[in-house]
Amino acid sequence: MPMVPTAQAQAGDRLAADVLTSFGSVLLQEGRTLTHRDLEILQAFLIPQVDIRRDGLPETPADEEEKGEGRPEAAVLPLHQRFLRVAKLLSRAFANVGPGQKLPILEIRNELRELLDLIDEYNVLTFVPSGEEGQPTERWIRQSVLVALTSYQLARWCQFPEKDWIAVALAGLLHDIGNSRVDPAIFRKPTRLTEEELQEMRQHTVYGFRLLEGVPSLNRGISLTALQHHERIDGSGYPMKVHGEKIHPYARIVAIADMYHAMTSDRHHRKAESPYLVLEELQSEAFGKLDPVYVQTFVERATQFHNGMLVQLNDNRVGEIVFTDRHHPTRPMVNVGGTILNLSKQRDLYICAIYST
C-alpha cells in the first residue's frame, strides 16, 4: 500500500487507511474513493501524505495477501446491506399490495428487526444509504427506511416503552404506503405540482390508512400514523386537520423523522439542505406544529456525540467540531485552522455540510 505525498494524490484514488487529523479524529475513512473536494480537504488540513490504492502503483505483499483471500474491492458495511434489503422488500411489497394481495407483514417485520439490530451503527446526521441515485419512486421508498430508523431512535430517546420501539419503526416504514396508489406521473413531474395534483398527492394519507387499517397483526397506531403523519399540533395539517393530543404519539414521532429526511434529501425543485440547518428549522416548526418535547429531544440527542466531526461552513472553510453547548446544539464551536469559532455568537456562519465523523 504505497504512501504518496498529498500533492500527488488524485481524484479516483482509494484510501488504504484512515486519514487522521492532528487531533487524532478520522478525517477521511479507509476505502473512500477520493474526490476533488476531498483533495482540497487534505490540503486544508495539511495532511503530508496518504496511503492509497491506484491502478498502476506497486502493491505490497500485504495487498497481494488480501486479494488472495478474496477481500472485496469495496466492502459494503452491514448496515448499508440490510438497509438495501429492506428497501427492496418494501418496493416489491408496495408494488403488489391491493385487492386480493396482502402485505407480507411478517417478512417485513423480520427484515426490519434485522436492520434495527444494527442501530448502533446508524448516525442520523451522517448516514447516507448506498445507491442514493434513482427514480423518484425509488427515493421515497428509501426515505421510508430512513424514517423507520430515525423514528426507532427517537422513540428510544423519548423514553417510549420498549414494546413500542418496533411498532414506531414499522409505522415509519409504512407511513407512506399510500404513495403506491398515487399516479406515478406526479412523482416524476420535474416542476411544482398544480393544486389538483397536490390534492391528489395529499390523498396518500387516506390511501395508506385504508391499506393498513384492516391488517389484524398491526398495532392501530401504525395505520393512524399513515393517516396522521402530516397533521400538525395547531390543526393546520391534513387530511383531517386534527390537532394536539388527537394526533397519535407514533404519528408525532414519524412526522419529525419524515420532515427531517425530506428536507435533507434532494427533490426535483430544490436541493438537499444541511442537517444542521434542518434541525434549526425543525426547532422553529416545533412552536405550534410539531411536538415541541419530541423535537427538542431529537435536536439535543442527534447533535450530542459529534465532537471531532469534520464540517464545512457557509463561507467554504472546513473545520472540526470541538464543543457542543447543550443550549445551542445546532451551533457548536468549530476549530478552523487553529481558530475556534463559536457559531452561537457568530450568527452569520453556519454548518452547511458534514464530511465525516
Question: 200-213 pLDDT, tens per residue?
Answer: 999 999 999 999 99
Cα–Cα distance between 51 and 49 in angstroms, integer?
Answer: 7
pLDDT value of residue 62 = 41
CA distance 215 to 82: 25
Helical H runs in 69-190?
78-96, 105-116, 136-157, 162-174, 184-188
Give me the pLDDT at residue 2, please: 61
Residue type, 278: V
* Upper half-sphere CA count for residue 185 (Cβ side, 13 Å): 3
Fold of the 3-68 domain: Molybdopterin biosynthesis moea protein, domain 2 (3.90.105)
Q: What is the largest CA-CA distance in the chain?
A: 67
What Rg, from alpha-carbon coordinates, does the chain have? 22
The pLDDT value recorded for residue 99 is 66
Q: Which of 51-55, 260-264, 280-284, 321-325 has the lowest mean pLDDT?
A: 51-55
pLDDT of res. 105: 94
Question: Helix, strand, coil % (nearest 5) of the chain?
Answer: 45, 10, 40
Tens digits of per-residue pLDDT, 218-271? Answer: 999 999 999 999 999 999 999 999 999 999 999 999 999 999 999 998 776 678
Specify the higher pLDDT residue, 68 or 313: 313
Contacts 24+ apart (CB under 8 A), 189-195: 189/268, 190/268, 190/269, 191/268, 191/269, 192/269
pLDDT tier, 75 (very low <50, low <70, confident <90, very high otherwise): very low
Angle, helix 292-302 to helix 249-263, in steps of 10 degrees: 50
pLDDT at 85: 94
Residue 21, pLDDT above cutoff 90: no
Residues whose CB is less than 8 angstroms from the CB of residue 279 and which lie 6 or more positions away in sequence, other chains included: 260, 298, 299, 302, 303, 329, 330
Give the pLDDT band of residue 130 (cuts 50, 70, 90).
Answer: low
Q: Is the model's pLDDT at 174 over the cut of 70? A: yes
CA gap 349, 47 in Å, rounded? 25
What is the rounded average pLDDT of the residues 298-315? 86
Q: What is the mean pLDDT of the chain?
A: 86
Residues in Cβ contact with 340 at an 8 Å cutoff, skipping those fewer than 6 apart: 322, 333, 334
Residues 6+ away with beta carbon under 8 Å from 107? 89, 93
Percent of the chain scored above 90 by pLDDT? 54
Contact in structure between 346 and 333 (CB atoms under 8 Å)? no
Q: Which one-letter DSSP state was computed for residue 120?
A: G
pTM tops 0.85, yes or no: no
Residue (of 142, 216, 129, 211) closest to 173 by Cα position: 142
**Contact between 42 and 9 (Cβ < 8 Å):** yes
* pLDDT value of position 22: 66
Q: What is the mean pLDDT of residues 348-357?
A: 79
- Find where cell 444509504 sits: 129
Residue 65 is predicted with a pLDDT of 41
The answer to whether residue 132 scores a pLDDT higher than 80 is no
Domain 78-302 class in CATH: mainly alpha
